[in-house]
Amino acid sequence: MAATNVIEVTGLRKTYGKLVAVDDVSFEVREGEIFGLIGPNGAGKTTSMECVEGIRKIDGGAVSVLALDPWKDSQELQDRIGVQLQQAQLQKRIKVWEAVDLWASLYPSTVDGDRLLEQLGLDDKRDAWFMTLSGGQKQRLFIALALIHDPDLVFLDELTTGLDPQARHAIWDLVRDIKTRGKTVFLTTHLMEEAERLCDRVAVIEHGRIIAMDTPAALVREHCPERAAIFQADGEVDAAVFERIPGIASVDSGDSGFTLKGRGDDFVSEVIHAISESSIRVRDFRTETPSLEDVFLKLTGHSIRD
């Protein structure tokens, strides 16, 4: 049985004056999955997400979220989704617990706010004014506010930007926990590691268009199928031995040794096989498997941090 789609976006278009921020974007997010949107700065991630959240009015296409029209049925939708915006502020002098308490009063049912603050490492900041929080603490508070009513669908726009590694791991755990409880998560991120670890599927967006969409592993397989075996060998070695390895794409030998690149799931074992067949003495053997980062680099022509 196919999972139902929680979000369906078809031909979404959004313009700011003359600037086309999002153009003909289509994707769907399935119930119970973690879906990630990745792309360089200004690609249109936030814009797409905010159109889905019902915060921005779309200029074209169709968006359906939990079978509702996010713009027209905004009120009804907001009850069931949790939103963390990339950029947001609260009243300067609102206390952390007051914000959580206020948000809790807006929804029909909620989880324990104190426990949530504890999970997010904010329990000792309960009585602090919003304006006195550090950037990462504000970020964590906004995540708490997005989760206070235990929504069916959670939106996280750059969920770990500005967080220290410890907080980042805590939030990854929290997101996995949301998924385990059968909820759906739609996130954007600049961290390929984060996308790879968390997301069931990712879409790569550039210049307002989606240029690839699949599971992280499938994207790597499709766009960066080459693996590399890198080693140093003792004595004279005839490079021709390596040319015969099935799936081999290139053989480089330099001061630091050999770099063999090739395709196929068996490539590494084929390399090991060839080495032992030819009784080559090897020091220092390592392999390199491409990651989402490499896919991103290949698809967009630049690193995510550019």
* Total residues interacting with Mg ion, rule: CB under 5 A: 3
86 scored as a contact of Mg ion (CB under 5 A): yes
Give the contact letters, 215-254, x = binds to other proteins (CB under 8 A), - = no. Answer: ----------------------------------------
Smallest distance, Mg ion to C-beta of residue 86, A? 5
Q: How far is the CB of 282 from ligand ATP (least distance, A)?
A: 43
- Indicate which single residue of 31, 59, 101, 214 sits in contact with other proteins (rule: CB under 8 A): 101
| Residues 183 and 177: beta-carbon distance below 8 Å | no
Residue 153 Cα distances to 35, 142, 150, angstroms: 11, 15, 9
Nearest distance, CB of residue 64 and other proteins, angstroms:
18
Residue 264, helix vs strand vs coil: coil
- For residues 45 and 183, which CB has a smaller minimum distance to Mg ion in the complex? 45
Segment near Mg ion (CB under 5 A), from 80-88, 166-174, 232-240, 264-272?
Answer: 80-88
Looking at 3, 62, 67, 106, which residue binds other proteins (CB under 8 A)?
Answer: 106
Give residues with Cβ within 8 angstroms of 141, minimum separation 6.
Answer: 90, 96, 99, 100, 120, 122, 130, 133
Distance separating alpha carbons of residues 19 and 35, to the nearest angstrom: 26
Helices (H), the chain: 45-53, 74-80, 96-106, 113-119, 135-147, 165-180, 192-198, 216-223, 240-243, 267-277, 292-300
Q: From ligand ATP, other proteins, Mg ion, none, which one binds at residue 88 (CB under 5 to 8 Å depending on kind)?
A: other proteins
Burial class (CB in 10 A: 0-12, 13-18, 19+), 139: buried
Instruction: Check binding of 137 to Mg ion (CB under 5 A).
Output: no
128 contact, one of ligand ATP, other proteins, Mg ion, none, CB 5-8 Å limit per kind = none
Nearer to ligand ATP, 39 or 82 (CB): 39
Q: How far is CA 74 from the centre of its chain?
A: 26
